[in-house]
Amino acid sequence: MNRTLVSVCVAMVFATGGSNAAGGQAPNRKAAPEMMQIDGSKNPELIPEWSAWGFAFRVFATGSRQLPSSVYSAVSREEEALIMKEADQLQRIDRDCQGRVVKLHDLLGKEKDDVLDQKLRDITLECRWATLHARNRLLEALKPEGAAALTAFVASTKAGTSITIPKKDLARYLEPQ
């Protein structure tokens, strides 16, 4: 199964100053950040584990709710049920995370930007860790052949991932792993 191209829209706010009526100067604008594209087919190591596993869990939890044949043939019915249970649970966690991020909007203008940024970062890392903990629980619970098949499937999805982010945000995007 090939992963569809993932487009990530990065919302950027450019601060503008007022025009100088006396001098007729144009508004003061910050320069757009330098962007970089990560192509998982060329650099799969730059696709974080939280992203690849999160994608796999979404695939399992939605649509046909079937495991890829390479994984299905390597796991028992009980293990399949466990994979689906973790995928469903992670979808609930993801919805909660999204709700928490949306609630930060209410704090715009009431909190300093750096405080909001830290709150966003905390939520983001907590939710990424939830994905990694789900991965760890599964890999520990599955028989070795099932764990290997699942890990191989997840690794294969990295080749179909492409994302464009501000270059300055690369380290943050890669967190925690």
Tokens linked to 41: 């087919």
Nearest by Cα to 170 from 1, 8, 2, 14: 8
The secondary structure of the chain in percent helix, strand, coil, rounded to multiples of 5, reads 60, 10, 30
For the stretch 96-155, pLDDT in tens is 999 999 998 888 888 888 888 899 999 999 999 999 999 999 999 999 999 999 999 999
CATH architecture of 49-174: Up-down Bundle (1.20)
**In which band, very low, low, confident or very high, does the pLDDT at 8 lie, cut at 50, 70 and 90?**
very low
pLDDT at 33 over 90: no
> pLDDT at position 25, please?
46
